Every structure is written in structure tokens, then in C-alpha cells.
Structure 1
Amino acid sequence: MIERAYREGSRLGLAVWTQDEAGPYPTRPYPGQSWAQQGQPKQQPHEYVRNGTAKLLTLFCPGSGELRARGVFRAPNAVLHPWLQQELTAILSQLAPPAPVTRANHAMWESWQQGLQARITLPAKLPTLRLLLVWDNLQGHLTPSLVLWLFSHGVMPLYTPLSGSWLNMAESIQRIIVRRALAGQYPQTPEQIIGALEATVTGWNQAPTPFHWGGKRYARRVRHRQRQHALGGSGACMRLSIRCRSTTLQKYLYRFRCQATH
């Protein structure tokens, strides 16, 4: 379902955004490269004072590479929900005007819940679907008031399954931003961490890089699912590997190879 959103969302005229909260990041030295002279690496203290932590709220559009982020000290629902509603309202205002509601509109919403064991109860009246939001399946993301707000604004939330955070592209952009902002640095206050993260986000948006789903990793997974074992003498193949006839043969072959090498 989420892979379908990445591949078909734009073709269906839907904006696709991903959301996540990165952190917390404590006030400590972070390993990484620095601009120190060769042979004179930058030294970091082995002891540090714990002055607090900072987090980064991120909202990322893989298709365009645009990143909306905000550094915070904590990310409870009282902080996350208003920020998310504000950012989504701004994003929706930049999209094309919604098309008139048709009879197939409700079926379009339901199509993004196919295959789910636990489905979200959709309201009887729904506006035109305009945006797909991919994010983690956290308790705060299931708040009824927030979910109803998303529905009323034409946003369909797509929750990643358990142990499926790798489906959220926001995880990738967060690693890039954090590595650029904090690698080799020693922030001593949460304000310094927030400043470094937000400055890096500003630099990213000056020349954003679009992400696309798939690539070599996806091709490897497809080959793994379709892998077949070729059989000699013809073009036949089998999906299950042939089991060795006996462990005695394996020991003999292993002993023969060892004697040949010596």
C-alpha cells in the first residue's frame, strides 16, 4: 500500500508526504569528520554535561525533495499536532484546487485501505482526496480528533506496519540532516542542536534532491522472491534448492579441499 503510494501517487494526482520525529539528540560530542588539518584531528572531550535534548519534527515530500522541519525540545501531541496541521494547511493551499466530489470519491479513499487487517472507519461524507501522509503507527498519530481533521482536509494517513519504519522515507532524510548538522560537533545546549538542525534544513531546501522508491535494493528483493535454481542439462529450473545426499559426502569434499590447498 505504501509502496503503491510512492509509485502511483503522483500519477493519480495525489501529493505524497512523509512525517516523522527525529531524536532525541543529547548535548554530547558527536563522532564524525571535521575540517581539522590532516594529522591533527579535532579532539572531543570524553566527559560531557547532560544539559537536555532536542528533537526534529520533519515533513518530507519525496517527489520534490521539499523538507519542512522544526526543532523542538519535546514532541508531545500538544506540540506535534498543531505544527502538523499548520504545515499541512500550507501545503494544501499550494496544490491545485480540489476537483468536484464524484460517486467514485469514497471508493478512492477505501482503495488505500485494501489489505489492512484493521481499517480506519471513514466518515460517510468525505472531500476530494488530495494528499497521502505516510507516518509511523504511534498512539498519538491515531488520535481521533487529528484523524478526523485529516479526513476533513482531504488527507489520507497511511500507517507503516510494526517494524516497518523503513517504508517511511522521512527516516532517510533525517539521517542526512542529522549527519550534516551534528557530525564532528559538540553542542552544549539544546538551542545549539536546534539551530544546527534548522540551518541544515534551510540549506537542503535551497537545492532539494527528490527521492524515488525502488532502486537496487528493491530490485534485489524482487530477485530474492523470484529466485530459481537452474538445473544442468536443460533449461529447467526449480524454486527449492537440492538437498545434499548425505553429510558424509560434505565431510569428504571438505577434507579433499583442505588436502589440495596444503
Structure 2
Amino acid sequence: MRNGTAKLLTLFHPASGAVRVQGVTSCRNPVLHGWLKAELCAILAARPAPPEPVSVAANRACWERWQEGLSQPITLSAALPPLRLLLVMDNLTGHKTPSFVCWLFDHGIMPLYTPLGGSWLNMTESVQRILKRRGLAGQHPTTPDAIIAALEAAAQGWNAAPTPFVWGGRRSDRRHRRRQRQHALGGSGACTRRPLPRPRPTVLQQWRSAGQVTH
């Protein structure tokens, strides 16, 4: 029986593995933006103050370098503070609300949106799956409050010994070594694990390649 929906607002720091969560029953923009602003302010308060930029042009270049190659770059504010934080989010309309984006700029936060259909690039999706399995596997909650309590408890246990996330890692190294052990076939996408034997040149072909053929 469906008695309601539980959602998990999540902020994830891949370098440390720390996660900030809050369970809610509604994820409208006022709820999401209010929670994000409070958590981001707490994160910035715990970080050291940024050094003053050398010049306005150098500071703006620091912001613009994160938009290189984007087909639809964000219009930056005219006056920008020092860049302090990068915030990766899904490409949703609510994340692009002008008032929210301007608030991010005013606090030195650069929003970066994953491509459409590329939510797997957002590591928060990965840690949410882990928390869901840890909190709900083998359980049978009957209310949204029970689901929220289980997910928040799983996040608290995760933060007791967080695991940093990095791109690549040992799995990437194994895939790279595996590709090195494969041999492409005629420039196609197919490969073999053993190189195909090549016909040995005849004595006449060897002479021709060496320019020693006489008539």
C-alpha cells in the first residue's frame, strides 16, 4: 500500500566522501533551495577565506574557465566574488532558477550541470544508491517517516567512516590493462586476445623489398 513518498536531499563531497542529507516528503523549489542555501553557507563558513584575486580580469577568467566547451554557458554576473566552490547538479529547470543562480554567484559558487541523460556523471546518484541499499535492504517500512529515518541513519553511519570517490581508480587501471592485451581487427571495433598470425613472406618477396631482384 502506498502511503506517501519520501525524498532524500543530498550534498556529496567526493574528495572526502562526506555526505549531507535531509529526508523530506516534498522537493519543491522553496524546500530544495532553502536547504541548499543553508548547507552551502555552512560549508563555506568552515572553509578558509579565499585570497583576494590579482585583478578583476583574472578573477573572471577563473570563473569562465569552467564554462569552456559548454554549448549553453551560463551568463555570469557583472561583479563576481572569488570562486570558492563548484556545485555539480542535474540539468533540471528548478536548478536554473535565476534567483537561485544569482545567489550562488554572490556567494562564490559555480553551478555545473550534467548533460541531459548524463545523471551518472553526478556522483550523488551513486552515493544515494548506496544509502538506499544500506537503509532499506531487508526492511519493510510502512510510512514515509520510517523511510526517512532509515535513510538518514544510513547517512549517519556512512559519515562515521566515509569512502572518498575518485574518477578511474583500480577498475579503470584494470580496463586499461585489458585493452592493452587486446588486438584490433582491421580497424573495426572487434578485437582478439591473441594477435592473428601473418603469412611469412617468401624469399622472392624478401628480395624484392631489399631491391635484390634481377632478371
Tell me, yes or no, if the aligned pair for 1:181 and 1:200 is still in contact at 8 Å.
yes
State the one-letter code of the partner of 2:137.
A
Indicate how the Cα distance of structure 1 residues 223 and 155 shifts in structure 2: closer, same or farther if over 3 A, else same: farther
**Counterpart in 2 of 1:108?**
62
1:102, 1:148 → 2: CA distance? 23
Matched, 1:74 2:29: no
State the one-letter code of the partner of 1:197.
L
**Counterpart in 2 of 1:193?**
147
Aligned residues: 185
Report deviation, 1:102.
2.6
Gaps of 5+ in 1: 1-48, 231-237, 243-262
Report deviation, 1:241.
6.3
2:161 corresponds, among 195, 198, 207, to 207
**Counterpart in 1 of 2:111?**
157
Tell me, yes or no, if the aligned pair for 1:54 and 1:71 is still in contact at 8 Å.
yes
More helix by share: 2
1:84 corresponds, among 36, 42, 45, to 36
State the Cα RMSD in Å.
2.0
State the one-letter code of the partner of 2:30.
A
Select the structure with the greater relative contact order (CA < 8 A; seq sep ≥ 6).
1
SS in structure 2 at match of 1:64: coil
Report deviation, 1:207.
1.1
Tell me, yes or no, if the aligned pair for 1:61 and 1:67 is still in contact at 8 Å.
yes
**Counterpart in 2 of 1:4?**
none
Report deviation, 1:228.
6.4
Report deviation, 1:229.
2.3
- Find runs of 4+ consecutive structure 1 residues off by over 3 angstroms: 216-224, 238-242
SS in structure 2 at match of 1:123: coil
Tell me, yes or no, if the aligned pair for 1:228 and 1:240 is still in contact at 8 Å.
no
Report deviation, 1:101.
2.6
Report deviation, 1:50.
1.4
2:72 corresponds, among 115, 118, 122, to 118
Indicate how the Cα distance of structure 1 residues 148 and 228 shifts in structure 2: closer, same or farther if over 3 A, else same: farther
With normalisation by structure 1, the TM-score equals: 0.66
2:107, 2:176 → 1: CA distance? 36
**Counterpart in 2 of 1:247?**
none
Same amino acid, percent of matched pairs? 60
1:97 corresponds, among 44, 49, 68, to 49
With normalisation by structure 2, the TM-score equals: 0.80
**Counterpart in 2 of 1:139?**
93
Tell me, yes or no, if the aligned pair for 1:228 and 1:239 is still in contact at 8 Å.
no
2:108, 2:127 → 1: CA distance? 25
SS in structure 2 at match of 1:53: coil
SS in structure 2 at match of 1:174: helix
